[in-house]
Amino acid sequence: MIYSGFATVCGVGYISAKRLEVVRLVVPLAGIPKKLDGLKIGVMADFHAGLFTRLEDIVYSVNLISREKPDLIVLLGDYVEGGVYRRPNPEKVEKEAYVFDALRNLKAPFGVYAVLGNHDHWTDADLVREKLSNLAIPLLDNQNTVLDNGLALAGVDDFWEGPSFPYKALRDVGRESVIILLSHNPDVNLQLKGDDRVRLVLSGHTHGGQIRLPLIDWAPWIPCSMKYRGSSGLIRETGRRWTFITKGVGTFLIPVRLNCPPDVGILRLRRI
């Protein structure tokens, strides 16, 4: 009885882990220029290519977000599953390099940008950097780029394994720019105490908890600091700053999600 119940839960969780959703949200931002009103940003993270996230899963996620026709796409790390061993594993990156072949098909008028996650460091960060470079996807490693539309995209290396230097990433960005900060881990908000420049942080890493108990919607494990309260969706950090956390495309460690489907994000900036 217990075994059959456990098997049923695992089966439901396995099916749920393959049900990728599009999370569409509006981000109200006071005082942004008119030309940014309505800008659509596609957010993808946590592919974890490996035994449980295969080429067809990644291709499906790429097709799903492409159908939304985002103006800009951001990739927020954990391209290849690194397991829990945290040892250099370039062979794993080469073996699962189909993730990069699939990401090659992402196109957006204002471009595709990336940051690294902890699993990229747990496999081979330099090799992941090379793979992204081969796709001509700029990696924002504690640096920024200012787009033609006045949006400044800054990105940090991973909070756990980086280093993550948000103030270095923001260096030389003029106050007239609307700043979006890309960080695999939303704990970067802890580094932004007192900052009034970043308007939106885009993150993944949490997988939304991956396993959430029904009814009470509680996740036994969120891999973030106890000082940070968010696990997924749109979170108001301050009067000026929001964070969006995607639950990600793949799964970590086990091919199961409960009450926590995978997603890609489509955010629309709204001038208020």
- The footprint of Fe ion (CB under 5 A) covers 46, 78
Tokens for 72?
């800009």
CB of 28 to Fe ion, least distance (A): 28
Distances (CA, A) of 105 to 58, 113, 237, 249: 11, 13, 33, 16
| Cβ distance to Fe ion smaller for residue 78 or 263 | 78
Return d(Cα 72, Cα 150) in angstroms, integer.
Answer: 13
| Cβ distance to Fe ion smaller for residue 116 or 127 | 116
Tokens for 237?
């950090």
CB of 149 to Fe ion, least distance (A): 30
Q: Is 30 helix (H, G, I), strand (E, B) or coil?
A: coil
| Cβ distance to Fe ion smaller for residue 48 or 199 | 48
User: What one-character-per-residue DSSP string does 110-160 give?
Assistant: T-EEE---HHHHHH-HHHHHHHHHHTT--B-SSEEEE-TTSEEEEE---TT
Tokens for 234?
């749109």
Residue 82 in contact with residue 120, Cβ under 8 Å?
yes
| Cβ distance to Fe ion smaller for residue 46 or 187 | 46
**Residue 209 DSSP symbol:** G
| Cβ distance to Fe ion smaller for residue 78 or 158 | 78
- Locus of tokens 């900036």: 269
CB of 251 to Fe ion, least distance (A): 9
Tokens for 229?
């309260």
Distance of CA 190 to the CA centre of its chain: 17
CB of 10 to Fe ion, least distance (A): 20
Q: Is 52 helix (H, G, I), strand (E, B) or coil?
A: coil
- Residue 146 CB contacts under 8 Å (≥ 6 apart), including other chains: 152, 153, 173, 174, 177
| Cβ distance to Fe ion smaller for residue 180 or 245 | 245
CB of 8 to Fe ion, least distance (A): 26
| Cβ distance to Fe ion smaller for residue 32 or 58 | 58
CB of 244 to Fe ion, least distance (A): 16
CB of 118 to Fe ion, least distance (A): 7
